[in-house]
Amino acid sequence: MARPITLFTGQWADLPFEEVARLAGEWGYDGLEIACWGDHIDVSRWDDADYVQSRLDILERNGLKVWTISNHLVGQAVCDDPIDERHHDIVPPRVWGDGDAEGVRQRAAEDLKNTARFAAKLGVKTVTGFTGSSIWKYVAMFPPASDAMIERGYADFAARWHPILDVFEEVGVRFALEVHPSEIAYDYWTAKKTLEAIGHRKSFGFNFDPSHFVWQQLDSVAFVLDFAEHILHVHCKESTTNLDGRNGVLGSHLSWDNPRRGWTFVSTGHGDVPWEPLFRALNAIGYDGPTSVEWEDAGMDRLVGGPEALAFVRKLGEITPPHQLFDAAFSNKG
């Protein structure tokens, strides 16, 4: 099955959208997963027909299509507690406002609704992103967090996201949460808990990114197979571990390029993700959506990593099921 290969523009949003589209088109990408920051998409302009068309025109000029847009940064502020200077750095001024925490959360929720509306105007069926979490701060387990505190966190997530998903459903768009540390779903069991909390709504699923499974020592293939019906989008991103007895999985507050880190992101094809088994698993579940290269590597220039990752993923895409199983050739019936 030929899946489109897209470039996620989040790590390229310091460049003008036109420039990123030009690069991706020249490299041979099929399309872009467009980030809703930088000048790439301003979701507050969802009802400006000329602006929406300008995004499509840029894509067309560069031989690209769009299947997915992303609003990870604003999504993070919907449920997070605390809201602090980290959020000030990543959300637009219209969302930050006066910085009042609950006001930021409410404005972030409205921005996510507009993201769904913008996606619909583009003809896009999937928005990827984060949800944030009011209980991620309890992950270290001390001081102990009671079961009731954890349950309140999932209830808070559901209360904030049900109205957002109502709008997604009104316009025929789905939200794909990237299962990721700091989110309400960050591993296998919290993913199950999240689906239960949101009532298994069809408009809510997962953006599968195996790079976050490597350092948590999770089985990414098992996740794909077990959550098959909830895999709405796939990121091709990579990480690697360096756990030598001194370096830990929590990162030690070290920068991404520090060799003493216990793990870090690397360009696709240079890490520890089991890509071939994963692509076989994606074939098995019938996933035919985009495979989107999310380039992150503190030790490689992105102008090298971007086209190299495309070639790597395109080669993986050649792993396709045969028309018949090999043992059918043994049969003398026919």
Residue 291 host element (H or E):
strand 291-293
CA-CA-CA-CA torsion sign (252, 292, 64, 72): negative
- pTM score: 0.96
Q: What is the DSSP string of 115-174?
A: HHHHHHHHT--EEEE----SSGGGTT--SPPPHHHHHHHHHHHHHHHHHHHHHHHHHT-E
Q: Which pLDDT value is given to residue 164?
A: 99
> Which DSSP symbol is given to 101?
H
Residues 6+ positions from 80 with CB-CB distance below 8 Å:
87, 105, 132, 133, 134, 136
Q: What is the DSSP string of 183-251?
A: SS--SHHHHHHHHHHTTT-TTEEEEE-THHHHTTT--HHHHHHHTGGGEEEEEE-EEEE--SSSS-TT-
Q: Which pLDDT value is given to residue 209?
A: 98
Q: Where are the domains of the chain?
A: 5-330
Q: Determine the average pLDDT of the residues in 78-97.
A: 98
| CA–CA distance, 279 with 314 (Å, rounded to integer) | 11
Q: Kindly report, residue by residue over 218-238, the tens digit of the pLDDT.
A: 999 999 999 999 999 999 999
| CA–CA distance, 87 with 72 (Å, rounded to integer) | 12
**pLDDT higher than 60, residue 269:** yes
% of the chain at pLDDT higher than 90: 93
Pairing mode of beta strands 238-241, 174-178: unpaired
Pair of tokens at residue 105: 């959360």
Pair of tokens at residue 319: 């792993």
Q: Kindly report, residue by residue over 49-61, the tens digit of the pLDDT.
A: 999 999 999 999 9
Q: Kindly report, residue by residue over 94-145, the tens digit of the pLDDT.
A: 999 999 999 999 999 999 999 999 999 999 999 999 999 999 999 998 999 9
5-330: in CATH 3.20.20.150: yes
**pLDDT higher than 90, residue 319:** no
Q: Determine the average pLDDT of the residues in 245-265.
A: 95
Contact assessment for residue 28 and residue 4, using Cβ atoms and an 8 Å cutoff: no
Pair of tokens at residue 243: 């756990």
Q: Which pLDDT value is given to residue 327?
A: 65
Q: Determine the average pLDDT of the residues in 184-198.
A: 98
Contact assessment for residue 179 and residue 212, using Cβ atoms and an 8 Å cutoff: yes
